[in-house]
Structure 1
């Protein structure tokens, strides 16, 4: 599945339109990652969100926001899958 935009472009658009604070940007980024992950894996949103919390993906996304949000959503989801795999989670 190709998702053809990145969060840097979205954030730049928001900043030009009057701005949003950092917390809102990170919340939108995490939310979009959960949505894309659940679609790719045919999961319910709540299940994906719970798994992100359980496996430390939420912290990974927030801690890595400065770099990750500049990448395509497809790339970020690939990185999440690699992160989960390295932690030994099944999915």
Structure 2
């Protein structure tokens, strides 16, 4: 079970391709994980959302969502190794 005390953030980013690579690799190696997706333009302020007040012109659509992957602290070292391999391939 994932809680604030026994999990840690592995990766935060806006690139959906890298997000998919990471969670596919974690699935392949049977490392439990959770993910959260946050709509950056859908945040509510005093009078409506950010996109509702300012519009979305000029904001790249690929950066509209922020992805966050969490793993258990006991699996963090192995997950970081996987992440470093994916980042090397991406460069």
TM-score (norm 1): 0.25
Q: If each structure's strand is expressed as a fraction of its own residues, which one has the higher value?
A: 2
> What is the TM-score normalised by the length of structure 2?
0.25
Bigger radius of gyration among the two: 2
The structure that is helix-richer by fraction is 1
